[in-house]
Amino acid sequence: MADKEYTYSEVSEHATKKDCFIVVHDKVYNASSFVDEHPGGEEVLLDVGGQDATEAFEDVGHSDEAREILEGLLVGKLKRMEGDPKPKSYEPTSATGAAADTASMGVGLYALVLIGGVLAFGAYKYLQAQQSQAQ
């Protein structure tokens, strides 16, 4: 069933609560059974029903569990035709990119704490010197 090809026109005919297809990364999913269960509410799915929902799906940053649920709803592939809306170029978040961002943030945070410690130590020594001069 997942080998079936749908045109954008065919997908757009499935845009109701009881018959809701969405497209994510040129794969067609039947989200009808999930509309009531969607954690963001049914209107979120209905807003993109019968359309390419790739950008909306990726912008939210769905969990691995959500992606597994999505795969369970797969019914086919999108067959793009002349005149169809162009897919928005979208860079999916890669695990290595996210790890690199987290690592650089960790190093920056470490540097900030280290600099703060050095400044606090310097202030302590300065105040100690001032106090000994006053006595």
pLDDT in tens, 6-60: 999 999 999 999 999 999 999 999 999 999 999 888 899 999 999 999 999 988 8
pLDDT confidence tier of residue 111, bands split at 50, 70 and 90:
confident
Higher pLDDT: 20 or 112? It is 20
35 falls within a domain: yes
Hey, how many other C-beta atoms are within 10 angstroms of the C-beta on 49?
22
Per-residue model confidence as pLDDT tens digits over 57-100: 988 888 999 999 999 999 999 998 887 777 665 555 544 455 55
The answer to whether residues 17 and 42 touch, using CB atoms and an 8 Å cutoff, is yes
> What integer pLDDT is reported at residue 132 of this predicted model?
84
Q: Do 75 and 9 belong to one domain?
A: yes
> What integer pLDDT is reported at residue 96 of this predicted model?
47
The set of residues, in sequence order, having a beta carbon less than 8 Å from that of 38 and lying 6+ positions away, is 31, 44, 45
Q: Do 15 and 39 belong to one domain?
A: yes
CA angle, 109 then 114 then 116, to 5°: 95
49 falls within a domain: yes
- Closest CA relative to residue 31, chosen from 70, 79, 77, 3: 70
* pTM as predicted: 0.63
Show the beta-strand stretches assigned E in 14-135: 15-16, 19-24, 27-30, 74-79
Q: Do 72 and 21 belong to one domain?
A: yes
pLDDT confidence tier of residue 1, bands split at 50, 70 and 90:
low
97 falls within a domain: yes
The set of residues, in sequence order, having a beta carbon less than 8 Å from that of 51 and lying 6+ positions away, is 11, 12, 15, 22, 23
Q: Which domain CATH number covers 47?
A: 3.10.120.10
Q: Which helix or strand (DSSP H or E) is residue 116 part of?
A: helix 95-134
Q: Which helix or strand (DSSP H or E) is residue 7 part of?
A: strand 5-7
Q: Do 63 and 106 belong to one domain?
A: no
Total domains present in the chain: 2
Q: Do 96 and 119 belong to one domain?
A: yes
- The residue type of 80 is R
Domain boundary among 32, 57, 79: 79
Which residue range forms the structural domain that includes residue 31? 4-79
